[in-house]
Amino acid sequence: MSESLFTSLKIGKKVAPNRIVINAMECCDALPNGDPSPLTYKRYEDYFKGKAGVVVLEAITPQYDYIARKNQLSIKEHNLPALKKFVSHLKAINPETIFLFQITHSGEISNNVYSQRIRVTEEPLAGYEDAKLVREAEIEQVIKDYVLGSRYAYEVGADGVDLKLCHGYLGTQILRPFNKDNWKYGGAWENRRQFAIDIYDRVRLAVNDDNFILGSKISMYEGFPGGVGTMSPDSACMDLTESIDLIKTLEAHGAHYILQSAGSPSHTLDLAHPDRRTPDYAYLHFYFQKICRDNLKPETVVMGSAYSIFRDGKQPFCAVKPENNTLRFWGNKNIKEGVVDAVAIGRQAFADPYLPAKMMEDKDKEVHWCTLCDHCVELLIRQHNCGCATYDKHYTTVYVDMIKAEGKLKAKHT
Ligand SMILES: Cc1cc2nc3c(=O)[nH]c(=O)nc-3n(C[C@H](O)[C@H](O)[C@H](O)COP(=O)(O)O)c2cc1C
Ligand code: SF4
Atom of ligand 1 nearest to the CA of 308: 26
- Residue identifier of the C-alpha nearest atom 14 of ligand 1: 25
Instruction: Indicate the fold that domain 4-370 takes in CATH.
Output: TIM Barrel (3.20.20)
Q: How confident is the model at residue 296 (pLDDT cuts 50, 70, 90)?
A: very high
Q: Quick one: average pLDDT of 395-412?
A: 90
Q: How many Å lie between the centroid of ligand 1 and the Cα of residue 194?
A: 26
Ligand 2 pocket, 352 CB below 6 A? no
- Residue identifier of the C-alpha nearest atom 7 of ligand 1: 25
Instruction: Please list, in sequence order, all residues whose beta carbon lies within 8 angstroms of the beta carbon of residue 103, skipping any fewer than 6 positions away.
Output: 59, 60, 61, 62, 75, 146, 149, 150, 153, 161, 162, 163, 164
Q: Quick one: average pLDDT of 267-288?
A: 95
Q: Quick one: average pLDDT of 324-344?
A: 98
Contact 185, 194 (CB under 8 A): yes
Q: Regarding beta strands 160-163 and 132-133, do their DSSP bridges make them parallel or antiparallel, or are they unpaired?
A: unpaired
Ligand 2 pocket, 249 CB below 6 A? no
Q: Which range is least confidently modeled, 33-37, 198-202, 265-269?
A: 265-269
As a whole-number percent, the residues of the chain with pLDDT over 90 amount to 94
Q: How many Å lie between the centroid of ligand 2 and the Cα of residue 292?
A: 28
Q: Regarding beta strands 9-11 and 14-16, do their DSSP bridges make them parallel or antiparallel, or are they unpaired?
A: antiparallel
pLDDT at 64 over 90: no
Q: What is the model's pLDDT at position 69?
A: 84
Q: Quick one: average pLDDT of 59-71?
A: 90
Q: What is the model's pLDDT at position 112?
A: 85
Q: What is the model's pLDDT at position 362?
A: 96
Beta-ladder partners of 304: 260, 343
pLDDT at 77 over 90: yes
Question: Which bound ligand lies closest to the C-alpha atom of 380?
Answer: 1
pLDDT at 398 over 60: yes
Ligand 2 pocket, 379 CB below 6 A? no
pLDDT at 130 over 70: yes
Atom of ligand 2 nearest to the CA of 368: 7
- pTM confidence score: 0.98
pLDDT at 2 over 90: no
Backbone angles phi, psi at 57, to 5 degrees: -60, 140
Q: Quick one: average pLDDT of 315-334?
A: 95
Listed by start position, the domains of the chain span 4-370, 373-414
Q: What is the model's pLDDT at position 160?
A: 98
pLDDT at 10 over 90: yes
Q: What is the model's pLDDT at position 332?
A: 98
Query: Nearest-CA neighbor of 256 among 126, 324, 141, 162?
Result: 162
Beta-ladder partners of 102: 59, 162
Q: What is the model's pLDDT at position 217?
A: 98
